[in-house]
């Protein structure tokens, strides 16, 4: 690989190191600090002139802080004359604010796309967007990777029988159907509603047979764990045998850990698109690394090769 530099924003150091280990390069030298007046400062400590630069930012709370760190880093890299500024955002901030479905509300995901682009990014690489249409909020290239294969491979290796894939709401039915095709098993749909703008969701019934079955709930993200708990409780009520859950983004805020610990859930599997600190890594939570997927995408973009080839389970089985 030629003329490539990979820089970590402050909370993304571990993820960046994993990417760099895969690429067999050292992370770029960068100094990110915060002054006493709350202003952030970034200095790139090596030349990036005419280079292919990748800035990695993992959006763990506080999210707004992460956004400023990213924007300032993009600006520093732009003013240092990088050729390409590729922003790697394994979890896209504000992705749940993706449409104007009520009067006088913002579409913050679109605003995010606009400010990242305005700051100087020439490409964004992200993963499992809450709404795939967010890709189109950018005028620059936006590559959307997926945690699907990492999660599928994990459950495939577990060799679970009598399996049913659970869709947490009507919106996730399409995705659940895809997983059910992969595992060659049925799906069941939970009726979930969210009436207000808070984090509370209500599940009322299960459509499909889960009695005595090994159920796996697939979702894009687990944030407060509200949706997950509603789903787990209803599956338990309807007689599911074992309840597994999987999500690309383990945000795990608020009471999520406590709720998971005290629930009938057998195992929750997430990837590290959002760093999961040690204190959140309870026995029931398994964290899989998605950094190799990002590293392979970076390698292929840098070498001007197809990224689409990594969108197959074969790739994950053989690497
Ligand atoms: C909802 O549409 C999403 O797919 C997730 O179910 C939701 O974002 C999870 O949030 P929480 O864990 O706070 O219920």
Residue 165 near residue 189, CB atoms below 8 Å: no
106 vs 193: which has the higher pLDDT: 106
Integer-rounded Cα radius of gyration of the chain:
20
Is it the case that residue 195 has pLDDT exceeding 70? no
Please report which confidence band the pLDDT of residue 319 belongs to, taking 50, 70 and 90 as the band edges: low
Q: What is the pLDDT of residues 202-235, one digit of tens each?
A: 778 999 999 999 999 999 999 999 999 999 999 9
Atom of ligand 1 nearest to the CA of 222: 12
271 within 8 A of 290, measured Cβ to Cβ = yes
- The average pLDDT across 250-256 equals 97
CB 168 within 8 A of CB 192: yes
pLDDT value for 203:
77
Interval 88-100 mean pLDDT: 97
What residue ranges define each of the domains in the chain, with the CATH number in brackets? Answer: 4-146+291-317 (3.40.50.2020), 149-288 (3.40.50.2020)
* C-beta of 250 in contact with ligand 1 (< 6 A): no
CA angle (111 as vertex; 294, 299 as ends), nearest 5: 15
pLDDT, the chain, mean: 94
Q: At what angle do helices 148-158 and 173-183 cross, to 10 degrees?
A: 40
Among candidate residues 5, 192, 213, 299, the one labeled active-site is 192
Q: Let me know if 192 is a catalytic residue.
A: yes
Residue 221 CB–ligand 1 contact under 6 Å: yes
Would the CB of 201 count as within 6 Å of ligand 1?
yes
pTM: 0.93
Say yes or no: CB of residue 227 within 6 Å of ligand 1.
Answer: yes
C-alpha of residue 145 to centroid of ligand 1, in Å: 19
pLDDT of residue 16: 98
| Ligand 1 pocket: which of 59, 203, 220, 234 to mutate (most atoms within 8 A of CB) | 220
């Amino acid at each position: 690989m030629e003329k490539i530099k990979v820089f970590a924003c402050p909370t993304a150091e571990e993820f960046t190191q994993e990417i760099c280990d895969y690429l067999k390069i050292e992370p770029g030298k960068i100094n990110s600090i915060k002054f006493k007046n709350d202003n952030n400062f970034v200095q790139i400590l090596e030349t990036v002139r005419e280079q292919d630069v990748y800035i990695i930012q993992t959006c763990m709370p506080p999210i707004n802080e992460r956004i400023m760190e990213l924007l300032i880093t993009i600006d520093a890299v732009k003013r240092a004359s990088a050729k390409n500024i590729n922003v790697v955002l394994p979890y896209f901030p504000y992705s749940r604010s993706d449409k104007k479905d009520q009067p006088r509300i913002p579409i913050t995901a679109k605003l995010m796309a606009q400010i990242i682009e305005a700051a100087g990014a020439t490409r964004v690489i992200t993963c499992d967007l809450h709404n795939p249409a967010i890709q189109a909020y950018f005028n620059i290239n936006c590559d959307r990777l997926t945690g699907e294969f990492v999660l599928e491979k994990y459950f495939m290796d577990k060799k679970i029988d009598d399996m049913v894939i659970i869709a947490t709401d009507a919106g996730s039915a399409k995705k659940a159907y895809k997983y059910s095709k992969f595992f060659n098993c049925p799906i069941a749909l939970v009726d979930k509603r969210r009436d207000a703008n808070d984090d509370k969701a209500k599940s009322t019934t299960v459509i499909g047979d889960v009695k005595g079955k090994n159920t796996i709930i697939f979702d894009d993200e687990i944030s407060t764990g509200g949706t997950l708990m509603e789903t787990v409780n209803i599956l338990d009520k309807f007689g599911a045998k074992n309840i597994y859950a999987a999500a690309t983004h383990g945000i795990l805020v608020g009471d999520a850990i406590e709720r998971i610990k005290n629930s009938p859930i057998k195992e929750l599997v997430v990837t590290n698109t959002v760093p999961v600190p040690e204190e959140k890594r309870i026995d029931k939570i398994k964290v899989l690394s998605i950094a190799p997927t990002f590293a392979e995408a970076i390698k292929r973009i840098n070498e001007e090769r197809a990224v689409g080839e990594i969108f197959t389970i074969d790739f994950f089985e053989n690497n």
